[in-house]
Amino acid sequence: MAGVRAMRRRVISARDLVKTYGDFNAVDGISFDVPAGESFGLLGPNGAGKSTTMRMIGGVTQRTSGHLDIMGLDPEHQGPEVRAHLGVVPQQDNLDEELRVRDNLIVYGRYFGLPRAYLEQRADELLEFAQLEDKAKARVDSLSGGMKRRLTIARSLINEPKILLLDEPTTGLDPQARHVLWDRLFRLKEQGVTLVLTTHYMDEAEQLCDRLIVVDKGKIMAEGSPTALIREHSSREVLEVRFGADRNAAVVPRLDGVGERLEALPDRILVYTDDGEGSLEQIRNRGLHPVTSLVRRASLEDVFLRLTGRSLVD
């Protein structure tokens, strides 16, 4: 896998990227490469610098220092050329509500100077892809959140981009709408589109990303595939036990020696272990009876907690 990746062309290359607002370093020396066809994720809490990094890649924010290369172009000096290669799904939908659904696609395609005959055909194709065929003539404000998001993704594909940037693609959507969206993104991945996405959802990162960087306070904390990161920074399983908010802290010392490591959160205690059921048995044998207990597979959330001491979603 790694060999294949090395052979593929790099489409994005960032070196020591820095973006400063006043005396605040939103992005503080980030470096990474994305080969063609990869799904690359930036995982981190709100304010970690993910969106700023995306905006620099998209050439809509100029970096303070560092090097950035998109398809051999520098977004600072060749903004229009760089953006012509990209499809961009912004964090906040900015569809034109005065236009009908299909017209949103066509008008957007005009920004790439695309001819009308192509746009008519492509718009229908994309409406089908976004499962919005029967909404073609609908008003944008009549669409649900998930539909708007799919329309925004369809819009970003109007120029047949090879690289798609997605900033928090499923934030604010209900679970079902998220799954529909993930399915669409999978299809793009299968078609060979390079996906770069930011998310603060660990399940999204695990589902969609071949490789990711964990970002916090503008810096990269770790880099790797979701499985590798979990293997490296967490145990196989996690046992979550709750003793009630006022008792959790008091119980922690009595759990000493259970599992590989303990993490006490305000509402629950996490026990990192390779055998969740076994650890739960151990706890019960010590005469402790948690109000609730749950054994789950370790996730990127645990990786993040380990690396930063904080949780991803607050």
Partner 1 sequence: MTEVRSERLHAHAPEVSAARARRWGSFYFMEHMLRGMRAYLVTIVVTSVGNPLLYLFSMGVGLATIVDRSQSTHFEGIGYLAFAAPALLVSSAVMTCANEMMFPVMDGFKWRRVYYGPHVTPLVPGQLALGHVMAVSVRLLVQCTVFFLIMLAFGAALSPMAWLLVPVGVLAGMAFGTPLMAYAASIQKENFQFSMIQRFVIMPLFLFSGTFYPLETMPAAMQWIGWISPLWHGNQLGRLVSIGASEPAWLVVVHIAYLAVLVVLGIVLARRSYTKRMDA
Q: Give the residues lining the site for partner 1 (CB under 8 A).
A: 58, 60-62, 71, 78-81, 83-86, 88, 90, 92, 94-99, 103, 107-108, 110-114, 117-118, 121-122, 128, 155, 158-160
Nearest distance in Å: CB 71, partner 1: 8
Nearest distance in Å: CB 278, partner 1: 51
| Residue 104 or 234 with smaller CB distance to partner 1 | 104
Nearest distance in Å: CB 28, partner 1: 18
Nearest distance in Å: CB 115, partner 1: 8
| Residue 155 or 306 with smaller CB distance to partner 1 | 155
Task: Round to whole Å and give the CA distance between 36 and 9.
Answer: 6
| Residue 96 or 174 with smaller CB distance to partner 1 | 96
| Residue 120 or 210 with smaller CB distance to partner 1 | 120
| Residue 45 or 79 with smaller CB distance to partner 1 | 79
Nearest distance in Å: CB 219, partner 1: 22
| Residue 97 or 223 with smaller CB distance to partner 1 | 97
Nearest distance in Å: CB 127, partner 1: 11
